[in-house]
Amino acid sequence: MESDKLAIRMRMAGGVLLIASFAAAIGYVVATGVVQFWFGHAEPDFLWLARNYVALKGCQPDR
């Protein structure tokens, strides 16, 4: 009986983590696209935000 409850809780926790990871990935892609649009980059590069985060933070900290 207790193992059934634990299995249900683990399945729910796994589902929540899966949904959270998909939401984070979609949010990162959207944020990268918005920042590239602000700075006028034509080609989509999804690692651009990760590579240039420190430079962007120093250059424009309010955005």
Count other C-beta atoms under 10 Å from residue 20's C-beta.
10
Give the integer Cα–Cα distance in Å for 53 and 63: 12
pLDDT at 19: 98
What is the amino acid identity at position 20?
A
Count other C-beta atoms under 10 Å from residue 22's C-beta.
10
Q: Kindly tell me if the per-residue pLDDT of 3 is higher than 90.
A: no
Contact 26, 5 (CB under 8 A): no
The model's pLDDT over 18-61, given as tens digits with 9 standing for 90+, comes to: 999 999 999 998 988 888 888 887 787 778 878 888 888 787 76
Question: Where exactly are the structural domains of the chain?
Answer: 25-63
